[in-house]
Structure 1
Amino acid sequence: MAHFVVVGAGQAGASLVAKLRSEGFEGRITLIGAEANPPYQRPPLSKAYLLGEMALERLYLRPQSFYDDQNIELRLETRVTDIDAEARNLTLSTGETLTYDKLALTTGSHPRTLPAAIGGTLDGVYTMRDLQDADAMAPELVEGRSVLIIGGGYIGLEAAAVAAKKGLKVTLVEMADRILQRVACPETSDYFRALHASHGVDIREGVGLDRLVGTDRVTAAHLTDGTELAIDFAIVGVGIAPATALAEAAGVTVDNGIVTDLHTRTSNPDIHAAGDCATLLFKGQQIRLESVGNAIDQAEVAAKNMLGQNVEYVPAPWFWSDQYDCKLQIAGLNIGYDKVYVKEGDNGARSHWYYKESNLIAVDAMNDPRNYMIGKRLIEAGKSPAPEVITDPATDMKALLRA
């Protein structure tokens, strides 16, 4: 009986094993995860869960009974310490050795941390990536306390929104010229800067952290502009790094992630990869997509290809972020855009349409789900209406899908 092993029990790993069964695989499946909890949603951790609006059980992607019913061996609190790709076996933290016929790496990513030399290991300094992080941080969110958030990407901004809603004094520093500089246009940065300012968040752009200070626990922060802030705790949101150590140990090619081909195979044909840890080929470039949508879709294609179906993975990127009462939805990738057009909607809705030359490549939609869906479908269909048509309030947007 064939044995398929999946290492990494996050969104991608859970999606992959479920797809193996739904595609009719009757062999043995083992899903290995380092955490104590079954696979769960990560996006709500920095939002609804941290606010106390979502119970732990609602985070779980599927109940334990699903894995039992589907005869999927879920090995929690277990790490893989080594992979011998030639022998097709792996060593577990328990000392056991498992032999596999096909292996999938869905190991996800790690939050980037601050070095100890600048206070990164002081008590009261947090990252936000997993359930343990959220549970550790929750008691800090007490009204009237002061928090410094380092990093103005989506994770930092979501943490700022939660802290502000809890009544904390929030300061956010971003070393780049503007928040969201790496991922969004200036118009989107402006929108979210104004949103956070309206909730009392002090955003400082072009300012970095020099060091955190304190004896055992952080008590203050020195910024690169010479400012010193008294703080009660700090949240580090300076990006993530793909978890590739096991792939490297297996001799698999790694370059800013585990390199995969159009069929989710790594440089070893018996090993597939999916999710945050993996790169993929998109419009001639090898990139990583850090999103729930990609984790699910890439993992499901990986499952099919582990079964020999030889299906190409064609990503349709989409992302979202919840901050206060604003839902940001993003379709496409804005890589190489040269122009952004703004469409105002009803009741404060707004969307930003990215063009590269004359081609529509991405849309940011703020509280505008209708135009988000239309933009997503236009991008996926390869349709690029003229910008003046998009921004004209009189345009029947749905009609553009039929054009």
Structure 2
Amino acid sequence: MTLKLWSKDWPRGVPLLLANSFLMSIGFYALIPNLSVYLTHSLGWAPLLAGVLLMVRQFSQQGLMTLTGMISDRVGYRLTISLGFVLRGIGFGMFALGTSPLLIFVSAIIAGIGGSLFEPTSDAALTTLTNVQNRSRAYAVKKVTDNLGIVVSALLGSLLVSVSFHLLSLISGALFVIAGIMTYIRLPSIRIQVKPVAWADMWRTVTLDQPFVHYVAVMIGYFFLFMQLYLAIPARIVDLTGQASSVSVVFLVLSIMIILFQVPVSLLVRRLHAIRAIQAGFALLGTGLLVLGFAGHVAVFVAGIALFTVGMMTIEPASFDLTSRLARPGMTATYFGFYYLAMAIGGGISQGTGGLLMQLGSSSGLPGLLWWIGAFVSLLAIAGAEPLRKSLPAK
């Protein structure tokens, strides 16, 4: 098993997509973590209103991806990705134009729509430009570049926000505009449907694909667990240490592990049935949540985060590969767009109930309530995936 990152067989579009991932991570993670702080501290927004804004941005992205995926399959990937990047850049840049709630909500919606255009389409383009032999490696390298971008974003975000949030917004937006221009110039033209398929037929095809819909339903559980990274898990480390700055430990461990180990883990996952790999990932996620949730020491918490991260690294390449293989010819972006409904639903439930479950557990004398529910969701997803293991092809 070789661990080299690059493949000489990749066409020119693949390195561009990887560069886009790097720029996207820098632009997104430099701005979004600082946005809520800016809204609540600098502008005096109530935390509830700031939370609603973030939910609106997420829904305007993941909630529209089936539609934007259908558009991509009809008009071509290069134009859709480029337009999405430019819209995201405009939305982020608009945060610097004023402080009225209406302007900020409009900015967030534009940024979300931009994401709905480029995210499923970029996945579809990576699928189309790679073959079965190097697709897993390409996705693994994409995750590595994502996390390298996250590391850079932490430095850039802290530097720029200390100068001006408006400057941070403009530079973050500019990175997306640059990615859009690069994509339009350098990405090969990828148009899948020579003869366009009717909208109703595209929707009917994906929604009547029962194995795929079943699989997407299982992945709702993954995104429910994944989103705990942004609420419950940071709150847990702060409770454990008493230091708000310790939240950085979570993302430092996660990023370092993905940078170092995503490629070898992905190569190991290729040897397994995709559903078996997803089930193993859910087991690791659930175990990791229990370990970090009941940790009495930072070292035990870090061990829990490590298990949780390995679960992510196991599930994500398997799910990418499975979505690629289940997609009908000419509808790859549509299938990826429908897949991201799992994020919209699972992430929405997670964000909507995570804080409530933490508060309920604390007030009822059951501080581990959320962690036990997370473990139960993992078991439920493992059981729900079992029929797919028997019905879907191994490769």
Q: Give the alignment's TM-score, normalised by structure 2.
A: 0.24
Q: Would you tell me which structure has more strand in proportion to its own residues?
A: 1
Q: Would you tell me which structure has more helix in proportion to its own residues?
A: 2
Q: Which structure has the higher relative contact order (CA within 8 Å, separation 6+)? A: 2
Structure 1 or 2, whichever has the larger Rg, is 1
